[in-house]
Structure 1
């Protein structure tokens, strides 16, 4: 996967990778161009001039016209280019807005607010909005009826689990959204970062098992410690990942603890967490 390369995934579905690789973005944010003539850009990515130019060049190369811009959520690696493209082409933005928690693209303002099950016309095909809160409260995936592709944004990425950042991110919602995805006749997952994922049902079920095992491990470690803050708990609970990742892991650790608290299985006093026996 190379930044700036237009890849044909299915008839009428292309991918363009943004030049923003990193620990949180993998090879870069995937921007998808949907349609043959009337083009929908899904997740235009960061407002990097070279990436915006590459999107416009791709639209021209396809011989199409931009009809609308769509985003899965408003994190800064997914949506800032949306406003630029919309203004350049005079087209609407589709997405879901959310209060800024310090991690949102504040430039994004939806012209059309998404709702669960909304059918979006993609050059004659149907793209279904699937509300999937968890990674963040305004996250949507999109199911493409004609191909069985599910565009997963940051709900699922290839080769890594996604970070859940409270309070806008919620682990209980994330787990419920994973189970919700299993109801669709999925052929492949098209993630916001990484390549197409085969065996989508197996991938989703594996993620559910992985998250539950992590939660069980957190509960076991916290029970053994008696009480602990995030700094103390992350070391044994995430001893299977590099210590360099622990600052990021603490975000998902907190999300797991808040889920346990919501379920009446954990409590917190100040910064000290403990299991309720």
Structure 2
């Protein structure tokens, strides 16, 4: 029997330092919804407050329960992760800290992944920068690929990593050019593989209890997709929609636009490797 989804709006204490609250924004791309994580026991950090939804904000404030909030942290500014920073900051007085803002027209497949144009952090974190609170330290880890500004957050001294959308607990992430970059995504996975984290707390889906094995699986999956592309192009030129239909047999039709973006991301990566070339929307192996 399939596991029941976690209850929306309920604060679930994962361990003494980490709790999570599920936002009411399920979709084919967000799974059961965005997971907001709360770190600390007395003074808190809130990671990825999620969409600007009054019910979710109320749930977060109930979970905070009057305790001071030292920082509101953001892994990346897609609309399912960062808009609630603003009402939460007004309610708590906490600074918004994390991924660098930028503006880019969303060429991706889904409205919920569009960039939050109003995202305005008080402080931008670079790789290895830290934020400290009462009994906790969070260290930023640059993990570009899903977005160019994506950060993960290490809870120092615990073996826990808040992996945002770079590593999710239910599916591989969408890598959608022009901002999504498969070369960077693969390099970021290799960076995580070299670490010794004990658990990932992702932005979507359940926690990942064997991170290195999980990351090896993600790398293997992407290599498999790359191999599929090269085998198809070895038989002759193809356009992306045709490749996607061959590679993603049985996929939910609502997810086909996202699959096409991931195929494009792989093709851009293979072009950099000198393996493929494109002319007027048709791709072939490089001569």
TM-score, with normalisation over the residues of structure 2?
Answer: 0.92
Report if aligned partners of 1:221, 1:237 keep a CA contact under 8 Å in 2.
no
Give matches, 1:249-268, under 5 Å.
249-268=259-278
Within the alignment, does 1:59 sit opposite 2:64 as a pair? yes
Question: What's the counterpart of residue 229 of structure 1?
Answer: 239
Instruction: Report what 2:80 is aligned to.
Output: 77
Deviations 1:204-259, CA, capped at 9 Å, x for gaps: 111111111111111111221x2121111111122363444322200101100010
How big is the shift at 1:98?
2.3
The answer to whether the aligner puts 1:247 opposite 2:263 as a matched pair is: no
Count of paired positions: 274
User: Which ranges in structure 1 are unaligned for 5 or more consecutive residues?
Assistant: none
**CA distance in structure 2 between the partners assigned to 1:190 and 1:91 by the alignment:** 22
Could you tell me whether the CA contact under 8 Å between 2:232 and 2:238 is conserved in 1? no
After superposition, give the CA deviation of every residue in 1:128-157 in whole Å (9 maximum; x if it has no partner).
100000001010011112321111110011
Q: 1:100 aligns with which of 92, 95, 104?
A: 104
Give the C-alpha shift of residue 92 in structure 1.
1.0
Question: For residues 147 and 134 of structure 2, what CA distance do their matches in structure 1 show?
Answer: 29
More divergent stretch after superposition (140-149 vs 128-137): 140-149
Query: Which residue of 2 is the match for residue 12 of structure 1?
Result: 17
Deviations 1:100-136 (A, max 9, x none): 2322101111111110001111323221100000001
CA distance in 2, matches of 1:232, 1:223: 14
The reply to whether residue 33 of structure 1 matches residue 38 of structure 2 is yes
Q: Retained in 1: the 8 A contact 2:170–2:206?
A: no
| TM-aligned CA deviation for residue 162 of structure 1 | 0.9
Specify the alignment match of 2:187 in structure 1: 176
Name the CA shift for 1:110/1:244 in 2 (closer, same or farther; >3 Å).
Answer: closer
Assess if the C-alpha contact under 8 Å between 1:98 and 1:137 holds in 2.
no
Give the TM-score normalised by the residue count of structure 1: 0.95
Measured in 2, the distance between the counterparts of 1:263 and 1:252 equals 17
SS in 2 for 1:80: coil
| One of 259, 265, 286 as aligned partner of 1:276 | 286
Q: Mark the runs of 5 or more structure 2 residues left unpaired by the alignment.
A: 1-5, 107-113
* CA–CA distance in structure 1, aligned partners of residues 133 and 209 of structure 2: 23
SS in 1 for 2:162: strand
> What's the C-alpha RMSD, in Å, of the aligned pairs?
1.3
Q: Distance in 2 between matches of 1:52 and 1:130?
A: 27
Judge conservation of contact 1:230–1:250 (CA < 8 Å) in 2.
Answer: yes
